[in-house]
Amino acid sequence: MRAITRPADTGLQVDASTGLAPGVPYVPSPNCDERPPGFAPELIVVHGISLPPGEFGGPWIERLFTNCLDAGVHPYFAAIAGQRVSAHALIRRDGRLVQFVPFHRRAWHAGASCWRGRERCNDFAIGVELEGTDTDPYDDAQYATLASLAAALMRAYPGIAPDAIAGHDDIAPGRKTDPGPAFEWPRLRALLRSALELPRGGLPA
């Protein structure tokens, strides 16, 4: 496993009143709605995505989340161009963060899902996409940004406990595989402990 480095000191913050991260590019997605009454963020779900599959860069993820994906550009796009999906945020390979949905609103990212006995994770989860695949190592900068974002979300929304972070494959086993075996959970947890200034026992290894 690669060396664990401290999260980048990005000064990343989340404004709970607007649901936005000031200074982060915001590309509004229509694929969202209000959370049910009484629901607030309590879980962070980590996803992995690449469009076309296995290729990085380009505008295709943003176009998928904003319903602007041209089905004729690539054969794979014909199967997904009509989907109405979104995540709250995307972390590019170089660690750049893009936001699509205010964090207090419900993005359509998890689908049929269950976490600790609770179904319909979209109702109480925040979805973060990492540009990547199940089998390609994720970039150092992505881990740093994800840890910084998760810490900022946990500070903005106290209902998200330090251990309330899971993969799409954890909440939809057998249906989803991302972020996949290439994702290093111990590395993220170590970075998150550092970002939250928790003792070593503050999160599972």
pLDDT for 52-65, tens place per residue? 999 999 999 999 99
The string of DSSP letters for 61-83 reads: HHHHHTT---TTSSTTHHHHTT-
Per-chain mean pLDDT for the chain: 93
CA–CA distances in Å: residue 20 to residues 27, 80, 116, 194: 11, 27, 27, 23
Q: Is residue 164 part of a domain?
A: yes
Q: Is residue 19 part of a domain?
A: no
Q: Is residue 70 part of a domain?
A: no
**Which are the catalytic amino acids?**
129
Range of the domain at 109: 32-56+86-202
* DSSP 8-state code for residue 35: P
> pLDDT tens digit string along 82-136?
999 999 999 999 999 999 999 999 999 999 999 999 999 999 999 999 999 999 9
